[in-house]
Chains A and B, each alone.
Chain A
Amino acid sequence: MAARGKDPQSPAPLDPQAHSESTAALLRELVPHLRQNRTQLREEWARRITRAQLLTAMTEEEIFAEATSVYDNYVEALETGTFEALQAYARNLSERIIPRGVETHEVVGIVLLLRDVLARSLFAKYHEDFEKLNRILDAYEPAANRIANTVAVGFVQERERIIRQQQEAIRELSTPVLQVRERLLILPIIGVIDPQRARQLTEQLLRAIRTNRAKVVVIDVTGVAAMDSNVANHLVQTVEASRLLGATVIVTGLSPEIAQTLVTIGVDLSEMATVGDLQGGIEEAERLLGYKVLPLEEVAPKA
């Protein structure tokens, strides 16, 4: 636009001022047409959504209700040329439909369908005046594309925001360091360990060893689905660092698959104390700490 404006030789229709004026005028002409045929076009659109098998997670009534408000917002954006309201609506809509499993391609699909339905109706209305149809489409297409763009970007942004939020929640939740006995900590690891998480995990554990004055730590990896050499090395580093703070580490819950992988890829875990399951690990830790757990009957009565 700006580049064209600088050119004094540019033809009149491309002059930005005149161009935007005529565009606005044409769009103003469009809007009443779209308003008049609202019911019919909206139904056509809803039909095409169903036929294209989009939004399968929603019922027909829901689709129709959403279609109505999308349609109205769409026409309003065409009329006013401002996208703030549409953006807010798109975000709001995404918030509602993302938890129901609506995919990006569906949202983009329905907006593009609406664009096509409306374009068809314009063809039908102006097919006799080809000149005018061209000018109408010149005005309509950029605006429609921008609307599609706005809705799609709004949806993707909302999705990304949710993903970020969930990642944050997982990160917060997933590294509890728990004290089970005086001087005994357990660290259950669940899920995927990436380098960043491994680092955070180690730092948290070292700090906990310090504050709880732990002598023994049981790291339980039952919840870790897969382990590669990177993760194994991180584990070895955690064990080493804990030892430097004077704590013994027992690793428990290495699954048969992980054990096989580790041996196959040749990770050296010989420095590490490993026990089959968490119970065994805690018993071993209690032994190291000098605890002995007895059933009450076996404890001799005091008197």
Chain B
Amino acid sequence: MEVPILKQGLYLIASIQSALTDADLSQLREALIERVGKFRARGVIVDVTALDVMDSFAVRTLRDIAHMARLRGAETVIVGIQPEVAFAMVQLGLTLKGVSTALDLEEGLAFLDRQAQDRVERTRGRIIRG
């Protein structure tokens, strides 16, 4: 099943609706990375609220998406991990190191907004300091 990717301002939102096969996940990764460039996105949100199982391949794909998107200039945030899923992931040692996470879509958007603002301030500071 293909995951719909929505464009919302400067951000891309991929909302996973049902359990995905490994092929679906790879397809999602490619589609997202391609569209980050196409839409000049500054942020990517992957919503996994509907997933009640997260295996190592899924976790690795999510991490790959985050790292690849960063190389393409977009910050990624994973939102909506269920408490039980989080607990299982940690026990399996799948901790998504280096990837930002947020409670839900709303939090994810707020997080990306804050990141963008930080970036603006950093740049401005650099310019003023010369």
Q: Interface on A for B, CB 8 Å cutoff?
A: 202-203, 206-207, 209-210, 213, 215, 237-238, 240-247
Contact = CB atoms under 8 A, between A and B. Distances in A.
Interface in B73-110: 78-79, 81, 83-87, 89-91, 95-96, 101-104, 107-108
Interface residues of B, number: 20
Q: Which of B83, B84, B103, B108 has the most CB of A within 10 A?
A: B83
B79 A244 contact: no
B102 to A, nearest CB: 4
Interface of B: 78-79, 81, 83-87, 89-91, 95-96, 101-104, 107-108, 111
A207 B87 CA distance: 11
A213 B89 CA distance: 20
Contacts, number: 54
B86 A206 contact: yes
Nearest to A202: B87
Given A245-B101, A246-B103, A247-B103, A240 B90 contact: yes
A242 B111 CA distance: 16
A202 B108 CA distance: 23
B95 A245 contact: no
B87 A206 contact: yes
Nearest to B88: A241
B102 A246 contact: yes
B91 A245 contact: no
Contact of B101 (A202, A237, A238, A246): A246
A241 B86 contact: yes
A206 B83 contact: yes
Contacts of A241: 83, 86-87, 89-90
B13 to A, nearest CB: 16
B103 A213 contact: yes
Contacts of B108: 246
A244 B107 CA distance: 13
Contacts of B91: 237
A213 B104 CA distance: 9
Given A241-B86, A246-B102, 20 more contacts: A203-B83, A203-B84, A206-B83, A206-B84, A210-B83, A210-B103, A215-B103, A215-B107, A238-B90, A240-B95, A241-B83, A242-B86, A244-B86, A244-B90, A245-B86, A245-B101, A246-B104, A246-B107, A246-B108, A247-B103
Contacts of B81: 244-245
A23 B90 CA distance: 67
A209 B103 CA distance: 9
A210 to B, nearest CB: 6
A179 to B, nearest CB: 15
Contacts of A237: 90-91
